[in-house]
Chain A
Amino acid sequence: MLALFYIFIAVAIAVSVWQITRILNFRTVTATDKDNETQGKNFMIFMAAMYAMMIYCLIFMNVIMLPESASVEGEHDDNLFNITFILIGIVQFIVQFLLFYFSYKYRGKKENKALFFADSHKLELIWTLTPAVVLVLLIGYGLWQWNNVMDLSDAEDPIIIEVYSKQFQWEARYAGADNTLGRGNVNFIKGINTMGVDMSDKNAADDKKVTELHLPKGRKVIFKFRSQDVLHSAYMPHFRAQMNCVPGMVTEFGFTPKYTTEEMRQQSEVMAKTEKINKIRKAKGEEPYVFDYILLCNKICGASHYGMQMKIIVEEEAEFKKWIAEQPTLAEVIK
């Protein structure tokens, strides 16, 4: 049966090749007025289809996109993103219209004459200056926000957390009562001291190692990233936060959580997304999904790159204090 199928395919290919070679010999090879007519119209049909697709994506794919920023700093990212997106959306609609409409409107005809129009400094000045002015505004807002996010020098009473990456796992360490992390280096990795903390450093004793991140709502968190082996990238999409973890150096990033995990679960965009996901999971017979903040690896780091993650829980300050008090210090763990 399968052999018959392959024979059928072979015959079909042979026939089409034969047909193609026939076509090649007979047709005129440059576009005629009829071709110009057809292809010009095709561009209009394509434009309509493309607009339909763009609008469909904008409306119906909204639900799969990330919900509003869960960090205070990320609010401006969302603003800037919306402004930029509306802007490029408008430009996209206009420019594609001009391109496809002109392709249709000026489709060639034997009796037509093209206009010899080689230059216009006025027009060129317009489309040099317009983008320039718009860009100055975008760059201005963008740079202000970049500075706002990256400048951690003025944070008041921040919590310091070290996020540590290795193939294929995340670990974290809280700075403890002194809010200062003890030194770390791969040379100190031994047994239970998996993050290579230098226990002779007096700041290290009260540090606390955890496998799940808890963050208090409304307080600035400063993350210090280290990597043990290759490049990783700590990506916390809900907080609009990302920074590479680089072996041999410490990188940093900071933000202030705005909603607790519980509050975020009640947020309308999150609820819509969760509902959609659970419909899919139910059909496949899987456990229902409950929203959680997440830290995932976003720099190719090896075979199991696709599974590297850590849960993040944002809670009220009081709950956070209770949780952190329950965690043992390194001095207690590493005897």
Chain B
Amino acid sequence: MSEHHHKETFVTKYIFSQDHKMISKQFLVTGIFMGIIGVFMSMLFRLQIAWPEKSFTIIEAFLGPHQSDGIMNPDMYLALVTIHGTIMVFFVLTAGLSGTFSNLLIPLQIGARDMASGFLNMISYWLFFLSSIVMVISLFVEAGPASAGWTIYPPLSALPQAIPGSGLGMTLWLVSMAIFIASSLIGSLNYIVTVLNLRTKGMKMTRMPLTIWAFLITAIIGVVSFPVLLSAALLLIFDRSFGTSFYLSDIFIQGEVLHYQGGSPVLFEHLFWFLGHPEVYIVILPAMGLVSEIMATNSRKPIFGYRAMIGSIMAIAFLSTIVWGHHMFISGMNPFLGSVFTFTTLLIAIPSAVKAFNWITTLWKGNLQMNPAMLFSIGFVSTFVTGGLTGLVLGDSALDINVHDTYFVVAHFHLVMGVSAIFGMFAGVYHWFPKMYGKMMNKTLGYWHFWITMIAAYGVFFPMHFIGLAGLPRRYYTNTNFPMFDDVADVNVVITLFAILGGLAQLFFLANFFISIYRGKKATQNPWNATTLEWTTPVEHIHGNWPGQIPEVHRWAYDYSKVDENGDYVHGADFVLQTTPLLEGEEDPS
């Protein structure tokens, strides 16, 4: 492939590129732009929560007809939380995270010239781009964007009479998501085929870095669950536009009885969460993979319990498809189902605990190199543990009754899958930036970025658990109607201040990222002294990744600090590339 260099135009190189490295960068930059929108929205509604009666110029400037005198309307508040959730979960943490790193790392780390189908890969990105455009357009619809919550439960999402955002705004949301799902499925199938078929000579499954394992399993659960969301969305489109009654029944609204008979919103909830729950693992597993890899490299130690890590990824993935009901304990479904889902849900704590302890043991007696990627990886483990532990409260049906849909839930999932996954993504960007752009990012800015983000993350989400335990429901435009919540008002102010701090800290990242692309120090071939194959490719990107032959793999990905009986490094350095042949008598764990 690399032999015949066909001439590339600007369009084939930068826009309709079929090169996985370019597509990866396209996913990343689009994800960053969507992330800016999503985070900015959270700043706006945090202002509203903290100071519900105060007028803000920034709200007046950005929300136009959806505000009066610098105070946003209740409908717009709901629209902002809805679109914030949608953008962050799907556009940033699914496409932006998995799309970027699966594309970049799968071919490079398994020793392939490119994805199995470069064309489908290009289609996958452009569908994602299209769905992003549709989602952004929906923000400018006159009646406002979708506002029924990111979970779009009908009947609220089905009836424009119930909330204005359920008109054209919701239609565009559904169109955008349908395109997004197509993009995700095409991408996932490509990842699976590539990992299974295009591994280089010697790259046994048990020699693959954990990143590749995480991407593979993520793609599999994506393929299993995303089509279910597509069908849920299609049925909702039918109910909205063609008069069917899949989800609707016995509705009286604005003085008239609607014709819908026999449907049930609970059906939608089942279909939605059959994707919705695996979705949080689609978000977190790639981050876990990236963190495992970065921790091993920067600890100069093999990842502890490589096989247990693979086993726990598989266990989490399997369990993730049979726990969706824990979002529905009080939906009116049969309480017996609640018991079953409690049992399966709490089982997930076991593989999660194994992973957390294995990461910590990886640090133990290491020689930790505190690069920004490493800091974010340590931050990832910290927030994952803090957020994950409260899952024991929420997953227990009896306890869920009283904290369901309160800020306790908001705090829990933001820490365990929001902040953690974003940390994993940042770690990945800092670590693989040299591979993407051939330049290095600045570490001082990286340190500032990490510490302020870390402080802000805990400042926002730790106290939030307690206002949830005060019984405060989420998605309230203001709490001033309830004197019993007056004492949480100052906590909300503190949370908002930390949220703004956290938002501003991302400017360090943006500046570092975009300036480094142009002005960053030129990267060396293997700046972190890592063992995996991507660091054997030239710094300058070429089609087909390796000049000449694809390298052959002789060992697993974690030969860091391997010593002989005398305590000397076996190959003269504290890392051994996967391409280095085994010495006589040298053992390989794979």
Contact = CB atoms under 8 A, between A and B. Distances in A.
Q: Is A bound to B?
A: yes
Interface of A: 17, 20-21, 23-25, 27-31, 35-36, 38-40, 42-43, 46, 49-50, 53-54, 57, 61, 63-66, 74, 76-77, 80-81, 84-85, 87-88, 91-92, 95-96, 98-100, 102-103, 106-109, 112-120, 123-124, 127-128, 130-132, 135, 138-139, 142-143, 145-151, 166-167, 185-187, 189, 196, 225, 228-231, 233, 235, 237-238, 240-244, 246-249, 251, 273, 276-277, 280-281, 286, 289, 291, 294, 296-307, 309
Interface residues of B, number: 135
A40 B447 CA distance: 12
B370 A23 contact: no
B368 A229 contact: no
B476 to A, nearest CB: 4
Contacts of B413: none
B487 A230 contact: no
19 contacts: A24-B516, A36-B369, A39-B375, A57-B462, A65-B466, A66-B402, A77-B401, A92-B385, A114-B574, A117-B301, A117-B364, A118-B305, A124-B354, A135-B349, A146-B338, A187-B257, A302-B162, A306-B477, A307-B481
Interface stretch (B21-29, B99-107, B244-252): B244-252
Contacts of B368: 36, 40, 103, 106-108
Contacts of A139: 342-343, 346, 396
B163 to A, nearest CB: 5
A53 B406 CA distance: 22
Contact of A20 (B257, B488, B515): B515
B308 interface: yes
A36 B398 contact: no
Q: Majority SS of interface residues in chain A?
A: helix
Given A30-B443, A146-B398, A248-B264, A64 B491 contact: yes
A65 B408 CA distance: 11
Interface of B: 73-75, 78, 148-149, 153-156, 159, 162-163, 248-253, 257, 262-266, 299-308, 330-332, 335, 338-339, 342-343, 346-347, 349-350, 353-354, 356-358, 360-361, 363-371, 374-375, 378, 381-382, 385-386, 389-390, 392-393, 396-399, 401-402, 404-406, 440-445, 447, 451, 454-455, 458-459, 462-463, 465-467, 469-471, 473, 475-479, 481-484, 486-489, 491, 511-512, 515-516, 519-521, 527-528, 558, 560-563, 567, 574, 589
Most buried by A among B163, B368, B385, B477: B368
A108 B574 CA distance: 13
A46 B454 CA distance: 9
Contact of A115 (B163, B303, B365, B467): B365
Please name the 10 residue pairs, one residue from A and one from B, whose CB atoms are nearest each other, closest first. Answer: A248-B249, A237-B471, A39-B370, A251-B332, A150-B335, A29-B440, A186-B252, A289-B483, A115-B365, A306-B476
Contacts of A116: 301-302, 560-563
A35 B370 contact: yes
A276 B402 contact: no
Contact of A280 (B266, B354, B444, B486): B486
Contacts of B511: 17, 20
A115 B264 contact: no
Contacts of B470: 64-66
A170 to B, nearest CB: 13
Given A99-B385, A114-B367, A277-B487, A142 B442 contact: no
Contacts of A85: 393
Nearest to B352: A131
A90 to B, nearest CB: 10
Contacts of B482: 294, 296, 309
Contacts of A286: 483
Contacts of B357: 123, 127
A64 B463 CA distance: 11
A297 B487 contact: no
A334 B427 CA distance: 67
Given A29-B443, A36-B370, A280-B487, A114 B332 contact: no
A146 B342 contact: yes
Most buried by B among A49, A65, A108: A108
